[in-house]
Structure 1
Amino acid sequence: MAVLIVEDNPTNAMIIKHLAKKVTSKEIKVAGDGNTALMLCHTESFEILIVDYQLPGMSGLQFVKAVRLMDRYCDTPVVMVTADDQPRLCEEAKAAGVTDFLRKPVEAVAFRKLLADHLGAEAVHPELRSA
């Protein structure tokens, strides 16, 4: 299994991918929009999805709702990355199936800990879970 990052900003995608590589040796794929990410989810299995809230064409929430309709993704952790800190968004996202949130700009230690927590024993650096 692999990690999927759904992020339209190439710089943000590169940063998140770099941080993820510090936690896991799994393959990390990046999709620049929700439609591409959905196609990948239909053909591959991902262990965790890291999804930007604002995406072109389809919002991160729309993507999460669509991917949660797929049996193989009903229990997959979904981390939403957003600069928006409105409580309403948090409620809507949780209702759509988002597991956790990260605020932009992404803080490296918090991101690595969150990813390690979700990957569990498969994390490259399990000590990050207690960091």
Structure 2
Amino acid sequence: MTWLSDASAWLVWTVEVVVLVVLCAGFAYPVVAYSRNVLYRGGVLLLVAALGCLMAGSVLELVVDVTGAGALVEVAAYVAYAASGVVSVAATWRFAREFVTFGREGVEIETAGFTGGFERES
């Protein structure tokens, strides 16, 4: 690759990481500042934490690419990515746990109280 294509790739990667950092701060501020007004606060906080882990992994990976940091920093980036996945699953469970019950016959999902969607009522 040429120098110009390398520079543009670095620039795009840096812009992507900066946008991720801004999004993480933008989602975290209202949830923390106005937490009493947020429905499902625990689930939303977990989603923000997952985005924070994703952001941390991206920043660490950018540090590795820009400065040539060691393998330990790169491993930390991948640990942050894995933590983001685990926290995302926990956040999803936090939202869904009210509607899922485990019994002897298997898993039952409560759908009786919900109407709407895209189907037509004819």
Higher share in strand: 1
Query: TM over 0.5: same fold?
Result: no
Larger radius of gyration: 2
Bin the TM-score by the shorter chain: under 0.3
Question: When the two structures are superposed, what TM-score results if normalisation uses the length of structure 1?
Answer: 0.25
Higher share in helix: 2
Structure ranking higher on relative contact order (CA contacts 8 Å, 6+ apart): 1
